[in-house]
Structure formats: C-alpha cells, structure tokens
A and B are shown apart, each in its own frame.
Chain A
Amino acid sequence: MSAHRSRLSGTALSFRRFAAAPGPSILLAMLVLVAAFTATAVPRLIATLHTDSLRQQLAGPAPAALDPTAAFVETPAFGDSAGASTLPSDVGAVWGAQEAAALAARDALPSPLRDVLGAPLALTVFDPASALPATAAAGGTTYSPQVAVDPRLHEHVELVEGDWPAAFDGSLPPSDGDDPLEIVLAAPVAEAMAWQPGETRMLAYDDAPGADVPTRLSGTVAPLDADDGFWSHALNGLEPSIKQIGNAPPDITGLAFVDPASWTPFRTVERIAAQTQVWFPVELDEIRAADSPELIAQLSTFASTAVVLGPGGWIELDPLTVDGVERWSGSAAVADRVGFTSDLRTELETAVAEAAAVDAVLAALVSGPAGVAVAVLVLAARVVFERRRPGLELEAARGASTGRLRTTLAGEALAVSVPAALLGGAAGMLVATGDAGAGGWIVAAIFALVPAALLAGQAGALSPLRRQRSDLGAGGAGRFRWIGEVLVVALAAVALGLLLQRGLSTAAAATGIDPLLAAVPLLLALAACVLVLRLYPLPLRSLVARLRRSRGLVSFVGAARALRDPAAGLVPVLAVVVGVAVATFSSVLLATVETGTSTAAAARIGADLRVSGLPFTTEQLDGFAAVDGVAATAPVYASRTAPLAVDGHKESVTVLVVDVAELEAVQAGRPDALELPAALTESGSAIPVLASSSVAADIAAEPDPELDGRPVEVVGSRETPTPFSDRDAWVLVDRSQADGLVPTLVPRAVVVRLEPGADPDAVAAAVQEIAGVDAIVQTPGMLEAELAERPVGAGLAFALTAAIVVSSLLTALAIVLTLIVGRPGRAALLPLLTTLGLGRRGERALVAWEIGPMTIVAAVAGIGVGVLLPFAVLAGIDLTAFTGGDVQPAIIVDPLLVVAVAGGALAVAALAVAIAGGVGDRQDAARAMRKETEG
C-alpha cells in the first residue's frame, strides 16, 4: 500500500486519466506515426523512383541527342555580348553576340524547361581539309583534320604538350612571312595523324585550290572531362575517326581546334563550308519526373519556335587572290532565325508512359492497405474509447456535459496524434529525398485528425446508465445494411466492368493515378467482405448443430458465440480480406513480372547465348562452336536493309540471312523459337521468305512482291519481333536462297545453344575471349538480371514486398484489436466457464473461436480476390514497362506462392490469437469473477 500524491488541478486529473491506461493511446499514436510516415515517404519514394527511372532512360542516348540543338550552315553572328556572356573578353568580343542571343532565348523559356537547360554552348566545324606531311608518299594514309572553333576551348581541354594555339591575325592565304595557323589536336588524334607538335603542314581544301594554309600543331590536348556532353557534339574531337572504303588507304579525321578569338580573320576569308551548332546542354540532374508532362509540352512549343541567333543578311567575303589572280569572291549568309530540335521529348514520353504503369500498379497496391489502415485506425480509436469509457461515464453521471466529454476525448486524441503525425511526417521527409509536394502532409494531417474526430463523435454514445453494443457493421439497422451492401457490390461490379471494357490504358501515357484502377481493388475487397459477412454464418450454423451433439464444451460455446455474438464486424473482416488479397495479388504480380522478364529476356536473346556487335571471322565462328558446353551455333550471316516494293511505294525491310538447319538446331524446343517452314530452303522462281506479320500483310496485298528487285514468296509469318532485329519489318531468308539479296555474308551475330548442364557464365566468358572485348555476349540470365536491376523493376519488387509486409502487419493488428475490443464479452464468459471447469487451454481455444471462423472464411475470400484481381487490374496496366519485353506477359498464378500466402495469413492470425490470449486472460478465475461482479 503506497500513498500517492494527490494533485487536484484539472490538468493533473487529465494527465492521470491518460497515464492510467496509456497503452491504447500509444498504439493510436504509433498508428498515426506510421501512417504519417508512409504518407510523406511513399510519394517521395515514388517520385525518386520515377526520377531515377527517368534519368536511366535519359542516360541511354548521347547527350547530343537530348540537348536542344540548332545546327546551321550560315555564318554565325559575331560581335560583343555587351556583358551578357561569361566568355573571356577576347573571345567574347567575337562570340559574345551569339551567346547573348542564345542566353536571352533560354531565359525567355518558361520554367521548368528553362531550369533544366544549361548555359548555351557553340561549336563550328569546317569540312575536312587534307593535311599531309611533307614527306607523305602518294597512295598512303590520308589525314583530314577539320578546323573547329570552340569558344570555350579552355574550359574543355587542357594542354598535354606544347602550347595553346596563338592568335591568328594573318590573311588567307597567308602572305609570306605571316605566322602559320596554329591548331591543337587531342593527343590520340595527333598520334593517328602522326603529327608532332611544332610540325607545320599545308591545309588544303579541294574546293579552294591554291588557298592552302600553312598550319602548325602548337600542342596536344586532353579533355578535362571526357564524359562531358560537349564531346558528343564535338564528333571526332577526342578520338580520330578512321575510315576505310574497299581497298583504298584509310582516311583519318579529327577536330583541329584553333584559337577561338582568331575567328574573325579566319572566317572573313573563309569560303569553306562549315556547320555551326548552338545547343543548350540538358542538366539531367535538374529533371524531375514530376515535371515531365510540363517539360514535354514546353519542349514541343520550343521545337516549333524560331529563335533569333543573329541579325541575318549577308556579308561580303574577301576575294581570294592566288598569284595575283582573283580566284574567288562572294558573300556569305549570316544566321538569323534557327530552330532547336531535341530527342528529349520522345525520351520523356517513353519515361512518362513507364511511370504511368508504375503508378497504376502502385495505386492498385496501395488502395487496399490504405483502406485497411483507416479501418485499423477506427478500431484503435474504439479501443481507446472503450478504455476511457467507464471513467467518462462516471463523469457524465456527475454532470459532465457532452461538450466536455467530447473535448476530453478529442483532446487526448489530438495530444497524441498531432505530435505523432508531425514526427512521422518529418521522418518520412528525412527518409526519402524526392520532392512530391504537400500532398503527403495533407494525408498525414487527416490521419492526425481522424482519431480525434472519431472519438469526439462517439461522445454521444457515452451513457452513464447502460452499455449498448455498437459493433461496427454487425447488427445495425437491417435495412440500411442491405442498402449499403447492395451499393458496395454494385459499385464494385460497375467499376470492374468499366475497367475490363477499357482495356490497356496506361500505354497511352496517362499521367497521375487512375482513380478507377485504384478503387477497384478496394471495392472488390469490400464486396468480398459483404459476402463473407453474409455467408460465413451458413457453414457455422451446421457446425454449431453438429457440435451441440458432441461432448466438447469449448468448441460448442466457441462456435455458438461466433455465430450468435460475433465479435468480428466489418473492420477485421476487411483487414483480413484486403491483407490476404494484397499479399496474393502481390505474389501473383511478382511471379508474373519475374516470369515475364525471364520470357522477355529469353525472347530478346533467342537462344541460350548470343554474341554480337562485330563482324566475326570464320575462325572465330569455329572457335565459338568449339567452346566447351556449346551444343550448336547459328550465325546470322547478314542483316541488311532492302527496299520492298509494295503498293507502288517502297518500304524498307530488314533482310536476315540464316542457315535454317543451324537455327533450328539452336532454337529446338524453345517456346520462342522461330517456326521455320521447310519451304524456306526450296528453290523456286521466287525467294521463299519468313516475314514478320507486318511485312506479310503488306506482301499479301501485292500480286508480285519484289524485294530489292527480286520476286519473293512468303512461306510463313511471325507476330513478334525476332531477337536478330529491333525492327518490326523484317524477312528471314535461308542462306541457300540469299544469293543476290545480300552482297556478302559477314556474320555480326551468332546465337548459341548450350549443352544441357553447361554453365552459361563460363561459356559466355570463353566466347567473349574469342570474340574480343568489344563484342557483346549475352545470356538470357544476364539480360534478366539487367532488366531486373532497372529502377522500375527493383522499385516494383520493393513495393510488392512492402505491400505484403505492411498488409500482413495491418491484418495482425486488426485481429489483435478485434480481440481487445471483444475482451469485455469474453471476460464476462470466462469466469463462468472456469467455474464449469474450463482450463487455460480452453480459454485460448475460446479466443481462437472468436476470430477463427471469420479469419478462415475471410482468408479464403481474400485469396479469391487476390487471384482474380490481377486478371481485372492487369488488363489495364502495361506490364512491359516492368518486363522489358514487347508483349504483355501472361498472368502466372503460382499455386505454391498462393499457398504460402494463405499459410502466412493463418500464421499471422494464430500469432495474433496467441498475443491477445496471452495479454487478455492472465488472471485467475476468482479475480475475474470478482471483476465481473464489479463490472
């Protein structure tokens, strides 16, 4: 007996009330915390996922393809920028005007496009000139440097050897005594051209004979950042391009950078064709997936807008005088309006479509658990309410007004839920970095306020006189229940019908979350709940009738209670149905995507292994076949484009040449094998071809189809693309029939069949060694891993796993809370049964009976919903975004996984029973009895 210190103030009394049974309130706080955390973290995680996925998408093409670029052959506008550019003053005096105009154009763009474009860059590249060393022998390698002007040369390269090119102020052609034009080359280019720093060569242009320019290599340079997007615009700037046509000697090309400030004297005499690019480097890190739709629209507008980069008009060029004879005179157009083009828009559109698929799947996944989370919150609020009930009813009897009771309840709820929501929301912000706006906070705020509203709303139910049962959903006014149930089922049916009728929708690049898609899973689950609540008494009734005759007390009482005084209202049933449905749906989706990815990877390889990317020699081909573990090889002997004359116009078609026998050997038994008709090898008047379905359709309408001038006959067609070509339009020809269609047979791709049991990775390594480092060796397994590692793939796997875990936890929580809510009823029964000889095990059994029948029926319904859901929902979601394949994967219901999910649900329920049984009934019968009489 310990004395306590009495505190008589109102605040102290409120605190005492809270401290008396803080458990339910803390549980409520935890729920709000987790909900707020999820509300702020998930949208940000999704935004991050989309952005990662978008960046990956944008990392594919070269920066030059993405940067909005204006390319023109007119002479760029020259002049000072009037301080608008950041160029050094000597360069700015020449290139400033153009840069200032481009800057102004960018600044005129709307945000967010303006924010993702960097400061403009420019590069002018002249046509190649010949620069042979004085000692060069005729018929040897030719060197063709292209004079290039990069206003920001010093920001892109550093000197390796020698000096920067000196300013050139001579005339062209230079008079005697003039200094030669000085250039720098990237070290590999200089090496390829065998040009030593300090060496002077004559730069000769074919179309300006006699105007040869003595040119000295002042130094060699190396890029400051070889990965800079600049270099994708400056083709051949870093590495020489070596061209070899037929038996002619190779020609080596590379950019020769001159001093950018010396442009004026150079260009006024220039009569060599030059192309100038002005572009805005896209800053990929600034692009957020959320801005994509807006960016697409702005890019579209930008692409169709002419930008003024120069004053236009013409400038007179100095006449070219060779040996006193005027050989050339004329004028050059000056740039004025240019258009900027970019592939960024298409890439963004692809990414948006993919993001829409991700959103659709996530929406379908999230709505169910969100519904259960709300339901569990309602249950938790009820537990808080029931815990506070006796005290508040006493207060009511002593004259506490309903307003005071309401304030008390709402105050307690707010006191715990507001800090919890703030904490959870802030944690969510910390965990995820993506920017997803304030939407998450609004949801968090709702979660913070709902418990208070629920509790305040129940204040009216506080009766100092009598307790009324108010099980959610159960009982109720019969008529309203019927109306509600019919409404739910009808809504679910209508939504499902709409969804099925609509078909595949996300491929159409819809943005945002599709409410219909999101609603269907929850509606279906609710409809299943209605059925469960209506149907589960039926088997139970017969069970009760049978148990009445049996000897077991517990099972009869338990079954009868479950039937006549069901603790389970709508909320726990919903939790179990949705929990199991989400878990099942997730497992089906996981299996579908995994199998789909695997199928897609296999279909894209078309064999156990593929090596491609380079022309292979006969020795290499023999080498592949000789590798340990290789059963068969089939080279694709040629792959070229040929015109197909159809309906008066020509279509370009990819012609693939294979050896039918070899390919059949390699693909034998594969589900994605090409069906190769025997007719392919039969000679006739026309070349027999296997055509893709699009080509076959075109040819079918043509009486005398001709491929590259030769008659062809379609002996078979195939729907899907082949692993040998990315294009839809292709024909496949046997090697024996390909004479004349293709000039030479140089295999650039070989598909390989492995021996059973051979290690693909080991074979791949051996093949790689033979093929060389530049060849691409792929197995389906490698491709599958690659596909699965993409942000969408990894994100989906994470989301599905998280959905399974979260819904299992919510289900467990719902069951525990249901048992806690049902405890008073059990507490009333247990002492009675204990006096009749009920043991501890019997008590447990009674707890199990309380939720057992409901859980089993709800779990079965949940599995049903979970298995049906993919067929309903996935019809509307383009899963190829996840599989990387070309066709929507077939839905795979893995019975093992479904059984595992069902087992998991039952294990969760059993655990919940163990917890509730352990927590609730740890008291001896005498105490329980006494408590009962007091209650």
Chain B
Amino acid sequence: MTPVTLPRPGAEGSSATAAAREPDVLCVDLVRIFSAAGVEVQALQGLNLRVDPGELVAVVGASGSGKSTLLTILSGLDTPTAGSARVAGHDLLSMGARERVAYRRRTVGFVWQQTQRNLLPYLTAAENLALAMEVARTRRGAERARRTSELLDLLAVGDIADRRPSELSGGQQQRVAIAVALANEPRVLLADEPTGELDEATSAEVLEAMRSVNEELGVTTLIVTHDPTVSEHVRRTVQIRDGRTSTEVLRSTRTDEHGQEHAIAEEFAVLDRVGRLQLPTEFVAALELRDRVRLGLEPDRIEVRPGQDRTPSTAAEAEDADRSGPEPGADSPDAGGDGDGDSDDATGIAPREEDR
C-alpha cells in the first residue's frame, strides 16, 4: 500500500530538503469564525496550508471562500479562532501585542488590492517607503535613502520615486506597493488581489514583478486572488473552497523532443493530516454520490463507489462512469510525492498543456 503522506507538492527541490527546513507558512486545521449580532460565519473551516521558504504560491478561490480571511490572519491583522498558524517562527494564535508589532514590522510585508490600503496618497513613492522604515525603525538617513532607491529600481519604478500615488498608473502603484512591502526585508510577502484593478497586460506585468522579486530576493510569497489566470504565473496554485484548501495545481515546464518548451499543469486534490479530502463537485454529481460511499483499497489506488444500492440501470451508468476516468482522490497522494516526474495521463484531474 502506498503510504498516505501530507500533500506537500514539491514544486522545486526534493521533499527531503523541504521537510528539513521549517516551512515559512504552516496552517493546520485553521478555523476563523466571525460572529456578529447572533450570526456566525465560518470563514475558515479547518484550512491546511504549507508554504516552504522561498516558495511562490497563489491561493485561488471564489468570493467568500475565505482566502482574504486567511491573508488577514497571516498578515497579523486578525487572529484565528482555532487551529494553528505559524509564520516564520511566530505562532499567530499566541502572539502577544509586542510580538505582533515586531511581526508586522519585519516578518511580513503585504500588498492589498486597493492602492489606498497600500500607499498614503499625500506621500511620494519614496516617502511611502520611508514611512514603512520609519514605522519599523529599521533604517535612517542615507541608509534609508539607499534602500529606497534600491527597491524602487528593483521594481523598475526608480524614475517615479518623487511622484504621488495619484500620479502613477495602476501598475506603477502596485509595484511601488510591492517595494513598500519589501522595505523592511520581510521573510514573507503577502498579496491580496494585487491585480484586481488592473487590465490583463498590466496584471501580467505586476505578477512577473512579484515572481522576479521572489526569485531575486528569495522572499516567500503568497498571492491570494480570485483570478484563475494568476496561476499561470506561479508554480503552485492552491484552491480554497468553503474555507478549506481543496485542490492544488502544480505547474512545470518540459522541453519535448523537438526542443519545444511546454508548460504542464497538474491538478491535485488535497489530503489533510487525518486523511480527509474533498471530492470535486462534478465527480460527486456524476456518480450521484451522497451520504455514504464505498471505499476500496487497490494496490496502487483507492476506489470510491456509491454507497447506496442502485437500480440496475443506474448502476450500469455508474460503472461506466467509474471506468471512464481515474479517481482523483486516489491519485493525489501519490502525486504529492513525485508530482514532478509524473506523466500527463497518469495523475492529472484535468491536465492541461499550453505553450508558453
């Protein structure tokens, strides 16, 4: 029997090296409940997420899936109700006020969707960076000026350092925001819909900027978005549904025999620590799965069959459906271990291939 392991897709490097280092972001069974006026809303319902140092991950989900809640928790602005969340050695649940201040100053940097939340309108780009350093009390004087121009140059906005946000294009605003987020050398960069207000071309530009920052500075980066095209720019995309991570898409490039480069995306279901996984809705609908299912352990997979007694006619259809495609839940654990090397038809739920 194949051992069931944590869904830790090794986007890069081997699982062995990743396990040796503590992840920069580790959420286990994270729960956040908002209660107001007698109504309780479970925004996060036991979310699991692991991001290793230097990784670039996109968290994708529909509106209300809980992704923004996750980000506010990770940025230290909100506290989870239950579960555990650790970011770069800080336990977000037990963090005191003093530690929280230090955490916001040096551990995380963030970029929100609205410029207003990233930049002060009455300060120039450079001054916005300076303010971040002033708040964190990191650099002063010439050092501060040096760091400011360095970062602005890195984000290719050095020439507009003396402009105010209102005088910048949307893409420039977000790049300045990224620079501000990086001002105090955070270990983790969080971005909430950084491209939400941008057109497609500019979005791509900003995402590329984030990828290059991730590569050049090695800062662990987590981008939360509802925009599925973001996943085209990152190696690993985690899908959140109903407050839980449901599936992941891993992306790699492969050079075929003709020297053509192909981007390969594989989608995995996520299995949590205690073995729970979410079956994709269309799978459940196709087999009319409800209430109970039958599981069967095969040497290389697990079978999930409808639990209710079926009429012969529907049973036959179900049988067809059963055979027609591989069962994703059974495949994903395997994929977690060696996703990089798997072939297209072996493991993907909906393998796609595009030219880059």
By a beta-carbon cutoff of 8 Å, the part of chain A in contact with chain B is 1-10, 12-13, 16-17, 19-21, 390-391, 394-395, 397-402, 404, 464-465, 933-935
Contact = CB atoms under 8 A, between A and B. Distances in A.
19 contacts: A4-B164, A6-B124, A6-B126, A6-B161, A8-B129, A8-B148, A9-B130, A13-B131, A13-B134, A16-B122, A16-B123, A20-B121, A397-B77, A397-B117, A398-B131, A398-B135, A399-B101, A933-B114, A934-B115
Contacts of A7: 127
Contact of A465 (B78, B131, B161): B78
Contacts of A20: 120-122
A3 B77 contact: no
Given A399-B136, A934-B115, A8 B127 contact: yes
Given A399-B103, A934-B116, 7 more contacts: A3-B163, A8-B148, A10-B134, A17-B122, A391-B120, A395-B131, A399-B105
A394 B144 CA distance: 20
B162 A13 contact: no
A19 B127 CA distance: 14
B132 interface: yes
The 4 A-B residue pairs whose C-beta atoms are closest, nearest first, are A399-B105, A20-B122, A399-B104, A8-B130
A397 B122 CA distance: 18
Contacts of A464: 77
Nearest to A391: B120
Contact of B135 (A16, A390, A399, A934): A399
A516 to B, nearest CB: 44
Contacts of B72: 465
B96 to A, nearest CB: 12
Contacts of A19: 122
B186 to A, nearest CB: 10
A1 B123 contact: no
B195 interface: no
Interface residues of B, number: 43
Contacts of A6: 124-127, 130, 161-162
Interface string B70-106: 0010010110000000000000000001100111111
Contacts of B293: none
Contact of B120 (A4, A8, A394): A394
A398 B131 CA distance: 9
Given A391-B120, A399-B103, A399-B104, A4 B136 contact: no
Nearest to A397: B77
A8 B180 CA distance: 13
A398 B136 contact: yes
Interface in B236-293: none
Interface in B301-335: none
B192 to A, nearest CB: 12
A400 B163 CA distance: 24
Interface in B102-158: 102-106, 110, 114-118, 120-127, 129-132, 134-136, 141, 144-145, 148
A398 B127 contact: no
Contacts of B145: 8
B167 interface: yes
A400 B116 contact: no
A398 B163 CA distance: 21
Contacts of A3: 162-163
* Most chain B CB inside 10 Å of its own CB: which residue of A5, A10, A21, A402: A10
A846 to B, nearest CB: 25
A934 B104 CA distance: 23
A390 B148 CA distance: 23
A568 B47 CA distance: 43
A3 B136 CA distance: 27
Contact of A398 (B78, B132, B164): B132
A16 B121 CA distance: 10
A867 B121 CA distance: 51
Nearest to A21: B122
A845 B129 CA distance: 43
* Most chain A CB inside 10 Å of its own CB: which residue of B103, B106, B116, B118: B116
B124 A13 contact: no
Contacts, number: 90
Interface string B158-176: 0001111001000000000
A935 B116 contact: yes
A1 B144 contact: no
Given A7-B127, A13-B131, A465-B72, A399 B102 contact: yes
B61 to A, nearest CB: 19
Given A8-B144, A398-B104, A13 B116 contact: no
Nearest to B126: A6
A512 to B, nearest CB: 48
Contacts of B127: 6-8, 12-13, 16
Nearest to B160: A3
Contacts of A394: 117-118, 120
A683 to B, nearest CB: 94
Contacts of B98: 401
Given A5-B162, A397-B75, A13 B130 contact: yes
Contacts of A395: 131, 135
Contacts of B116: 390, 934-935
A465 B77 contact: yes
Contacts of B125: 6
Nearest to A12: B127
A1 B115 contact: no
A176 B144 CA distance: 115
B101 to A, nearest CB: 5
Contacts of B101: 399-401
B119 to A, nearest CB: 8
B104 A4 contact: no
A397 B120 contact: no
Nearest to A5: B162
A464 B144 CA distance: 25
* Most chain A CB inside 10 Å of its own CB: which residue of B97, B106, B125, B126: B126
A17 B134 CA distance: 13
Contacts of A8: 126-127, 129-130, 144-145, 148
A400 B167 CA distance: 27
Contacts of A401: 97-98, 101
A456 B98 CA distance: 19
Contacts of B110: 397
A2 B97 CA distance: 41
Contacts of B123: 13, 16
Contacts of A397: 75, 77, 104, 110, 117
A2 B141 CA distance: 25
A203 B211 CA distance: 128
A2 B162 CA distance: 9
Nearest to B109: A398
A6 B148 CA distance: 11
A8 B144 CA distance: 8
Nearest to B98: A401
Contacts of B132: 398
Nearest to B148: A8
A935 B98 CA distance: 29
Nearest to B123: A16
A896 to B, nearest CB: 51
Contacts of A9: 130, 141
Contacts of A391: 120, 122
A1 B162 CA distance: 11
A219 B337 CA distance: 136
A402 B122 CA distance: 22
A696 B331 CA distance: 121
A394 B134 CA distance: 13
A116 B118 CA distance: 71
B196 to A, nearest CB: 10
A361 B171 CA distance: 66
A6 B167 CA distance: 14
A931 B72 CA distance: 23
Nearest to A933: B114
A391 B127 CA distance: 13
Contacts of B141: 9
A402 B100 CA distance: 11
